[in-house]
Amino acid sequence: MSVQTTYTDKGKKPEQGRFVSFDHLTFWVSNAKQAASYYVSRFGFEPVAYAGLETGSRQTASYVVRLNKITFVLQAQYDPVETSFNKEVAIHGDFVKDIAFEVENLDYIVEYAKKQGAVVVKDIWEAKDEFGSVRMAVLKTYGDNTHTLVDRSKYKGAFLPGYQSLQTDPISKHLPKVEINFIDHVVANQPDNQMEPVGSWYERCLQFHRFWSVDDSQIFTEYSSLRSLVMANWEENVKLPINEPAEGKKKSQIQEYVEYHGGPGVQHIAINTEDIITTIKNLRERGVEFLTIPSVYYKIIREKLQHSKVRVAESIDELERLHILIDYDDNGYLLQIFTKNTQDRPTLFLEVIQRRNHNGFGAGNFKTLFESIELEQAKRGNL
């Protein structure tokens, strides 16, 4: 029985509307000022825009930081009152609340989603300032998460109307540059048996299709397992893998996530670079921590690559020193590495990925990667 499926049928092209790309990710946190500083100092993002009391935003402070096409918004609530914001941050800890997509033909996309039963959190509205206008709507997805749909075709400002631009951070010039270009995929973890209904929601409401999946017919490690289904837009530049735990001898890392997050949520954000070696050297110099890969992995991969058609341009010695993983087929390869969790809870982390004619998600690395995650899980007393 095969473990991986690559789907060849994209289904029918949506009649209208287009998901252009990831627009931005909004994190709900308890202290946006400090959270933004983490992405600037550690990951090389630059401050872009701010909204808060000084700009007339009475409820929330928002810091927008950007690294090429990757935009994160760190948002916190001011008032010490029980709102969904404060409740959700108390339950989940700092978390990714919203995945925003840039779209064309917002009206069609929202109308279609509504007809298919999508829950509209906020119907279409327009925001304006001296740089133009933006139209947006918010749909509910899994758990407490939402998708904001953004039509910014009539807007020229730095981020969104109402935001004030920010100066570059003086620390940046002292630190090694980070060249990471765009969001490659955003992964969500689900509780038991929720992968399939969540995947179908993207098919039914957003007209996404199944891109790739992996089942649990092979237990990846001695201990734990998972199933994963990747949903994609028509153009396949927006990819959303969805994981759920599978039975194993011990607690699945997905189950650990769900318990600490308190339900479904975003597990990792993969960001794409053209030069992973320089990028990881520089991120390590900036103090970003990554998972450790045992040297036996590289011994085996050196051996296997000798019998493969693919030529990896990067030095395997260098990849080994940096703990970067390699997955490949006859036509290409990918290089990927995973950070340790970016907060106290074992919930969110980041992945840096470089692709050379390879569209997979590193299934060849799952065993090694999951063992390395389990090593950390064991240290936490959660395996």
Among 362, 371, 372, 374, binds ligand ENO (CB under 6 A): 362
Cβ contact 272:354 at 8 Å: yes
Applying CB under 6 A, does 17 fall inside the site for ligand ENO? no
One-letter amino acid of 125: W
Angle ∠(220,372,184) on CA atoms, nearest 5: 80
Nearer to ligand ENO, 183 or 369 (CB): 369
One-letter amino acid of 368: T
Cβ contact 201:141 at 8 Å: yes
Nearer to ligand ENO, 60 or 194 (CB): 194
Applying CB under 5 A, does 229 fall inside the site for Fe ion? no
Among 207, 224, 253, 354, binds ligand ENO (CB under 6 A): 253
One-letter amino acid of 278: T
Q: Which stretch, 50-58, 166-174, 291-299, 361-369, contacts ligand ENO (CB under 6 A)?
A: 361-369
Among 241, 245, 248, 265, binds ligand ENO (CB under 6 A): 241
Q: Report d(CA 376, CA 292) in Å as an integer.
A: 10
Site for Fe ion in 63-122 (CB under 5 A): none
Is 261 annotated in some ligand binding site?
A: no
CB neighbours of 153 closer than 8 A, spacing ≥ 6? 104
CA distance between the termini of the chain: 28
| 3-class DSSP assignment, residue 369 | helix
Taking CB within 5 to 8 Å according to partner kind, which of Fe ion, ligand ENO, none is near residue 228? ligand ENO
CB neighbours of 275 closer than 8 A, spacing ≥ 6? 179, 354
Among 144, 351, 371, 374, binds Fe ion (CB under 5 A): 351
Among 60, 77, 228, 273, binds ligand ENO (CB under 6 A): 228
Q: Report d(CA 197, CA 120) in Å as an integer.
A: 18
Give the residue at shortest CB distance from ligand ENO: 361
Binding track over 296-335 against Fe ion, x by CB under 5 A: ----------------------------------------
Helix (H) or strand (E) run with residue 146 in it: strand 146-151
Residue 348 structure tokens: 């969110």
Nearer to Fe ion, 25 or 270 (CB): 270
Is 351 annotated in some ligand binding site?
A: yes
Nearer to ligand ENO, 144 or 244 (CB): 244
Residue 39's closest CA among 298, 348, 258, 318? 348
Is 185 annotated in some ligand binding site?
A: yes
One-letter amino acid of 145: N
Among 183, 238, 246, 270, binds Fe ion (CB under 5 A): 270
Smallest distance, ligand ENO to C-beta of residue 226, A: 6
Give the residue at shortest CB distance from Fe ion: 270
Residue 300 structure tokens: 């085996």
CB neighbours of 336 closer than 8 A, spacing ≥ 6? 270, 276, 324, 325, 327, 351, 352, 353, 354, 362, 365
Cβ contact 42:109 at 8 Å: no
Q: Which stretch, 136-144, 204-212, 249-257, 267-275, contacts Fe ion (CB under 5 A)?
A: 267-275
Nearer to ligand ENO, 94 or 371 (CB): 371
Number of chain residues interacting with ligand ENO (CB under 6 A): 11
In 15-145, DSSP assigns E strands to 18-28, 46-51, 60-67, 70-77, 95-104, 120-129, 132-140
Taking CB within 5 to 8 Å according to partner kind, which of ligand ENO, Fe ion, none is near residue 77? none
| 3-class DSSP assignment, residue 177 | coil
CA atoms within 13 A on the CB side of 146: 19
Nearer to ligand ENO, 85 or 338 (CB): 338
- Angle of helix 366-379 relative to helix 253-261, nearest 10 degrees? 50
Taking CB within 5 to 8 Å according to partner kind, which of ligand ENO, Fe ion, none is near residue 243? ligand ENO
Q: Report d(CA 57, CA 236) in Å as an integer.
A: 36
Number of chain residues interacting with Fe ion (CB under 5 A): 2
Applying CB under 6 A, does 243 fall inside the site for ligand ENO? yes
Q: Which residues bind ligand ENO (CB under 6 A)?
A: 185, 187, 226, 228, 241, 243, 253, 351, 361-362, 369
- In the annotated binding site for Fe cation, the residues are 185, 268, 351
Q: Which residues bind Fe ion (CB under 5 A)?
A: 270, 351
- In the annotated binding site, the residues are 185, 268, 351
